[in-house]
Amino acid sequence: MEVDRLIVDLAIMLSVAACVAIVFKRLRLPTILGYIVAGFLISPNFRFFLDVESEGSIEILSEIGVIIILFHIGLEFDFHKIADIGSTALVSALVKMSGVLFIGYSFGLLLGMSTMDCIFLGAMLSISSTVVIQKCFSELGMEKQKCAGLVMGSLVMEDVISIFMMVILTAMSAGQGQSGNGIALKLGLMLCYLAIWLVLGIYIVPTLLDKAMNYMNDEMLTILSLGFCFLMALLANALGFSMELGAFLAGSFFAGTKHIEDVERVTKGVKDLFGTVFFLSVGMMVDTDVIASRWTSILPIAIVAVVAKLIFATIGMVLSGQDLDTSIRGGISLAPIGEFSFIIAGLGISLGVMDSYLYPVIVAASILTIIFTPVLMKNSDRIVKLVMKLIPDKMKRRLDSYTSEDQDEEKDDEWRTVIKDFIFRLGLYGSIMLVSALVACKHVQPMLEELIGNRASKSVTCIAIYVVIALFLKPYMSGRSLAFTKLWTDKLSNRPPLIAMVLFKVGVFIAIAYYPIMTLFHLHQATMLILIVAATVIAAKSDFIAGYYLQLEARFLSNLNQKTMDERKGLNKQHWLEEDYSIFSWYVPEDAEYAGRTLENLAWGKQQVYVVKLKRGRKNVAMPSAKTQLLAGDKVYVIGEHKSLRTFHKTLDIGKLDNMRTLKEFLDGAYPDKEHALACLALKVRGTENYAGKPIKQSGINAKVHCMILGLERQGYATTMPDANMIIEEGDILWIIGTSDNLNRLALHSVGEAGKHSNKNSASAE
């Protein structure tokens, strides 16, 4: 029986790859470089060795390798890890990649390349090799240096940015011949689709995986993981994205789950196999004739990449607050062109917008930068001294001042918070509403039309769209944060830009609300628009819509934080009492604007600050009602998160904030009347309580028992100061504050007094 040629080729590929990899390992050279060399040896371009003939099949296996590599990069992507990396990695990665991209683009123009070739060249040069850099740090014993941690954090951000770069390049390639506005619109819609896709994935995948894990072994988990990976790749391709992006998102959906280690373990062998095939195929693309004819371009490209990365990575790290010495060392370490560059090169060729000769050119330049990197890192001390000599003393003093840890804190924290919140709400919730309208009008309505007719399908689709808009309208418009309130009350000059931001969001909402009736019914009547907008706003304010949205949000946040919560096994009593809440007190001045007003009228709860105790003369009032009036001379005790209390303190201008204590410190004070002392109770909901299944504001815990829910823990995820519309479910853990006697009455119907932490004496709280 004749042996299939593909089997022969695979035998040659893997055997040669293994042998070359062993040699490179012995020579302390990167294994990836060995695979590329092995690929070149077995390619038709090297005529003195065995050749691989099934190039079409190998190319398909290579594409599978790219998809699985991107899937595993996605498995490493964690929103919490990105947050922990901080602004240093984000700023340095953005500055370095954008700077090098511009230099690469400009250099390509000097070499006479086409516009798209120049763009792809800049993109490929801007990415550094995580594998090579990590290996160099390890072999040179530099893992514990400060620059190493910064560089590895920057590389994580580069991987994420590279994914979005692929989205942009795909949109630009598909939009050739379109105007700049057309490309921008297409890219904007793609990013909106991407945001919705990400939200749906985080909401759905962990929940389904939790249920399926009870029935799966390693074999089934491997099949499920890879099947989902390829399914997402196909879906991404159908939506106009690259398959690589779909694979990355598939991995990122698993990354935040508590099963991530199992998924990584069962798919690692598959990734190693197909990843090797991919790097072998990269080597097979190396054309010696192209390299020989273009060596005058390859060497300058490699030098430009190394120098540009040194300059812009250093600038990026300095701008993020790092000292000059650390920044230069970090820039030196980021020299090698990365494996992601090969993926982008393959993307350009598959889209038909990049000349094929650039592939071997970039591979050759990458090999040179990989060879340069260990040499540069070994001589980093000399390079740092040389750069220091070239920088004028005046500039060095300015840089030292800029990066000093002793510099004053920024005074515009509130503006940054408000702007970030504005962009987040506009981008996320605006995208959800917009994409829902677009998808429903363009895809759902035509399908429904075949089932229920033209007019009925339009009516049903329109109603569904406005239900979704109403569901997300409240969080979309919510902008009265603590920082917003502080800015509003600080200066009158702050109000015009704040009003402009609110009006802009209103305008976007009206435009989205107008789209369905204009598209489906071709109506242009202002009266109809006003009626629909008014109905949507009223629906958004209903308790049912608010409660349902909070249920969705709670599930989403629980899934998003599943891995973290599994590691922490929930929040313990010490965390709640010592970290989440603080209390401070002050005396109401004679001339206070709020003196004589009721707590209900003051509405301090909107600032996430609540009055838990009043002292009026010798009389102590614990958990005062909303009708309680504040009088001059009263001592007021308020509770909230530390940041909320600081903003509240600034808003009321209450002198110094010297007596703020954690809730635990407050409760640990001595108090002779134990029955009426404030206490905190952890209460698990069994499902049989009369408040189970009801929103917090209808539970009666506040009105009937005179207690307040400080926090709600659901499936390990904690919500501090939960919204009054949040529905209490079976299995929730409620953290409740009140007097000891009231908490005892509440506990009699639940779990007794277990978990209670009370203060013996509130005299120390005075």
Mapped to the 3 state alphabet, what secondary structure does 136-150 carry?
HHHHCCCCCCHHHHH
Instruction: Give pLDDT, residue 401.
Output: 63
Q: Which of 339, 333, 383 is nearest to 134 (CA)?
A: 333
| Cβ 88 vs Cβ 105: under 8 Å | no
Euclidean distance between the first and final Cα of the chain, in Å? 93
Determine the residue type at 599: L
Instruction: Give pLDDT, residue 760.
Output: 43
| Phi–psi pair at 353, nearest 5 degrees | -115, -5
Instruction: Give pLDDT, residue 187.
Output: 62
Ramachandran sector of residue 91 (left: φ over 0; alpha: ψ -120 to 50; beta: rest): alpha
Q: What is the 3-state secondary structure (H, E, C) of 604-640?
A: HHHHCEEEEEEEECCEEEECCCCCCECCCCCEEEEEE
DSSP bridge partners of 582: 640, 662
Long-range contacts of 139-144 (CB under 8 A, 24+ apart): 139/28, 139/374, 140/374, 140/377, 140/378, 142/377
Q: Is 661 helix (H, G, I), strand (E, B) or coil?
A: strand
CA angle 752, 758, 760 (to 5 degrees): 130
DSSP string, 332-351: HHT-SBPHHHHHHHHHHHHT
Q: How far is CA 533 from CA 303, 416, 516, 536, 585, in A?
A: 59, 30, 12, 5, 44
Q: Which of 538, 559, 548 is nearest to 256 (CA)?
A: 559
Q: Which of 703, 722, 705, 723 is nearest to 713 (CA)?
A: 722
Split the chain (766 residues) into runs of 10 and give each run's mean pLDDT: 68 88 83 84 74 72 84 75 64 88 91 87 87 75 75 80 78 60 62 70 78 84 90 81 80 80 88 85 79 83 90 85 81 84 83 82 86 82 83 74 48 68 80 83 83 84 85 77 70 77 84 82 67 74 70 67 56 56 84 83 80 84 84 86 77 68 72 67 82 83 81 78 83 84 75 45 35
Question: Which tokens sit at 296?
Answer: 């005058």
| Phi–psi pair at 686, nearest 5 degrees | -85, -20
Cα Rg for the chain, rounded, in angstroms?
31
Distance CA 273, CA 639 (A): 57
| Residue whose entry in the numeric block shows the structure tokens 């763009």 | 119
| Cβ 513 vs Cβ 480: under 8 Å | no
Instruction: Give pLDDT, residue 103.
Output: 92
| Residue whose entry in the numeric block shows the structure tokens 């005790």 | 637
Cβ atoms within 10 Å, residue 506 = 12
Distance CA 206, CA 443 (A): 27
Distance CA 765, CA 677 (A): 11
| Residue whose entry in the numeric block shows the structure tokens 């959906």 | 253
Cβ atoms within 10 Å, residue 141 = 8
401-442 pLDDT tens trace? 655 544 434 445 667 777 777 887 887 788 888 888 888 888
Alpha helices in 478-525 (DSSP H): 482-490, 495-521
Distance CA 448, CA 454 (A): 8
Distance CA 131, CA 32 (A): 8
Instruction: Give pLDDT, residue 752.
Output: 44
Q: Is 94 helix (H, G, I), strand (E, B) or coil?
A: helix
Q: Which of 531, 507, 513 is nearest to 441 (CA)?
A: 513
Strand order of the β-sheet with 757-758 is 717-720, 708-714, 733-739, 678-684, 757-758
Distance CA 316, CA 292 (A): 36
| Phi–psi pair at 596, nearest 5 degrees | 90, -5
Instruction: Give pLDDT, residue 102.
Output: 92
Instruction: Give pLDDT, residue 753.
Output: 39
Question: Which tokens sit at 164?
Answer: 């979005």
Distance CA 156, CA 499 (A): 37
Q: What is the 3-state secondary structure (H, E, C) of 399-440?
A: HHHHHCCCCCCCCCHHHHHHHHHHHHHHHHHHHHHHHHHHHH
Instruction: Give pLDDT, residue 176.
Output: 57
DSSP string, 726-747: PBP-TT-EEEEEEEHHHHHHHH
